[in-house]
Amino acid sequence: MGSRIAVTLCGHTARRCVVAREQYLHAIRRSGAEPIAVDPSDALPEEFDGLCLTGGGDIDPARYDEVNTASLDIDDARDTIELALLERALARDIPVLGICRGLQLINVRFGGSLEQHHLGHSPKYPPEGAPVSDDPAGADAVRHVIAPDPGSKLAAACGNETFAVNSSHHQVVTPDRLASELRATGRVDELIEALESPAHRWVVAVQWHPERTAQVAAAATRIFDAFVAEVKRTPVTAA
């Protein structure tokens, strides 16, 4: 059996969620692994060799001991299943890739927190005075340039040169909200756009959406190849 990667999804039937679902699953297949789609209502998969935590709605602020001041589209079932999968992966040192919400979930699991609303990193929430996007497919995106920290797993995956990425999030990890056990490996101004866990074999997360290949530089998409390569390097099974 080939390497199997659990891919968490929003489970909604809205067009944007359906498109995103196919993009995530295609990215895993393109990199040479077999995706296992996991919706919030599904049972935990019995076996998987890697875990990909994807984008979606906001995490319940109660998960990081704060009241809800600006969090939207909270799905408690999704929070629950993703945290359970993450615990299982960490316990067995299975490679984990976090994308957008996935980065935020990893930070929360390790004891960090989130700024619940930040302007300028989503077309829906532009800087003060800028027009708001109403694109229902989420095709629009804010662009940033990332410089991976030298020696990081991000740099090993994507290269040491700067590259362009997309952005469509309104919640952020700031330096003071970063979990103490995690290392920031990419930034946009003061905001953390990539992180990793030094204590684990391969736990890497990015705030952008590398599955949207038309919106990012080729270097940004290589995170999937690096993730799958690590899964295949020493395959393990979670049960």
Question: How many Cβ atoms sit within 10 Å of the Cβ of residue 17?
Answer: 16
Q: Could you give the CA distance from residue 14 to residue 37 in angstroms, rounded to a whole number?
A: 17
List the Cα angle 34/204/236 in 5-degree steps. Answer: 45
Rg of the Cα atoms in the chain: 16
Tell me which residue of 141, 137, 139 sits closest to 16, measured CA to CA. 137
Tell me which residue of 181, 28, 190 sits closest to 97, measured CA to CA. 28
**Is 100 known to be catalytic?**
yes
- Helix or strand or coil: residue 88? helix
Amino acid at 127: P
Catalytic residue among 121, 144, 169, 209: 209
Q: Judge contact between 95 and 201, C-beta under 8 A.
A: yes
Catalytic residue among 82, 100, 144, 170: 100
Catalytic residue among 82, 196, 211, 230: 211
**Is 209 known to be catalytic?**
yes
Q: Could you give the CA distance from residue 81 to residue 20 in angstroms, rounded to a whole number?
A: 19
Q: Which residues contact 80 (CB under 8 A, 6 or more apart)?
A: 40
Q: Could you give the CA distance from residue 86 to residue 9 in angstroms, rounded to a whole number?
A: 14
Residues forming the active site: 100, 209, 211
